Amino acid sequence: MTMEDRCKNAPPNCCDMRGLLSFTILWLLTKRDMYGQEIAEELGSRRGTKPNPGTLYPALAELAKGGMVVTRKEGRRKIYTLTEHGRAGAVSACEYFCRAYGDIFKEYGPENE
């Protein structure tokens, strides 16, 4: 099984992936503004399962409360946009994860298949 195939499967039962939700949302929003369902679909394609609304929308609300994202309405959709504070947070979190876990990911990366 390739690394890509492993990543498309649901997360392993031994790992609670919820702790990465806010980080992943911030990372997605560094690419472009998105509405909630778009974020859910993108997360689903990466994790193998879409987060339920009771998980996703409270995480988005916390990010907004913390000044990481702002929202605007387009019709019935609420569009989420990363703030400068959110962009700095995404970079800081990425640097942290690379320092803390980079060696693990390198060991299991595609070049080691």
Contacts 24+ apart (CB under 8 A), 52-60: 55/18, 55/21, 56/21, 59/21, 59/22, 59/25, 60/25, 60/36
| Cβ-contact 27, 39 below 8 angstroms | no
Q: Which residue has the higher pLDDT, 63 or 107?
A: 63
Domains of the chain with bracketed CATH: 3-112 (1.10.10.10)
Q: In what order do the strands lie in the sheet with 34-35?
A: 34-35, 77-82, 69-74
Tell me what pLDDT residue 58 has.
94
Q: Where are the alpha helices (DSSP H) in 9-83?
A: 21-31, 36-47, 53-65
What's the predicted TM-score (pTM) here? Answer: 0.78
Tell me what pLDDT residue 20 has.
85
Q: What is the pLDDT of residues 68-106, one digit of tens each?
A: 999 999 999 999 999 999 999 999 999 998 898 889 888
Q: Is the pLDDT of residue 110 over 60?
A: yes
